[in-house]
Amino acid sequence: MKNAVYPGSFDPMTLGHLDVIERAAKMFDTLTVSVLNNKAKSPLFSVEERVNILQEATAHLDNVKVDSFSGLLIDYCKKLGVHVVIRGLRAITDFEYELQVAQTNRKLSNGDVDTLFLTTSLEYAYLSSSSVKEIACFGGDIRQCVPAFLVQKVYDKFGITAFKQEQQNT
């Protein structure tokens, strides 16, 4: 069995993440998308909310599981018996950080955990969770950024209902 883990904050998940998930799911027998419970960050969505959102967004993919973890990624991989980590690359700015993390994980795991990078589809190259939050907090249109069922959930976090009403009237 070829299995992989796609870890991340997913706060919130975007269509860019979903694109990576769909492509990675075709390459592996099972793909575990796992929300990092990072106590240092104060997230918009709780870990449980992010897990539920990812489950809903990936319901059409039979070989995708959603989970969460805290602590070292290599310990989590060991627990699952997984040797491949998926990460997405959007721009050269992602590369330096991702390269360092991938090399650290390979070193710490004594070569047991490798990282596989998928380059972003061009239409999502500009997308990030932080830009979604920034647009949404001012009531901007995020319909091109996140799955349809998630749009209002993001606005709700900022107490924005106007966009919903506008949508309903069109």
Q: Which residues are catalytic?
A: 17, 41, 90, 129
* Cα–Cα dist 7/9, whole Å: 7
Which window, 82-90, 104-112, 136-144, 158-166, contacts ligand ADP (CB under 6 A)? 82-90
List 50, 58, 82, 87, residue binding ligand ADP (CB under 6 A): 87
Q: Which of these, 145, 144, 151, 131, lies nearest to 165 by C-alpha position?
A: 151
Q: Angle at Cα 104 formed by Cα 108 and Cα 73, nearest 5°?
A: 70
* 9 is a contact residue toward ligand ADP (CB under 6 A): yes
Which window, 46-54, 65-73, 106-114, 120-128, contacts ligand ADP (CB under 6 A)? 120-128
Tokens 């919130």 sit at which residue?
12
Which three-class secondary structure state does DSSP give residue 31?
Answer: strand
Question: What are the residues binding ligand ADP (CB under 6 A)?
Answer: 8-10, 14, 16-17, 20, 87-88, 90, 94, 120, 124, 127-129
